[in-house]
Structure 1
Amino acid sequence: MVGPMLVAGWRDVGPLRPTHRASGVLPARLDRCLVRGPGVTSASALVFPRGASDHRPISIDLAVHRAAA
Structure 2
Amino acid sequence: MTFNEFVASSNHQETSWEELCFEIKCESCFASVFDEVNEQMASSRDVLARLADEFPDHYKSYANERGLDQT
- TM superposition score normalised by structure 2: 0.20
Q: Which has the higher contact order (CA 8 A, sep 6+)?
A: 1
Higher helix share goes to which structure?
2
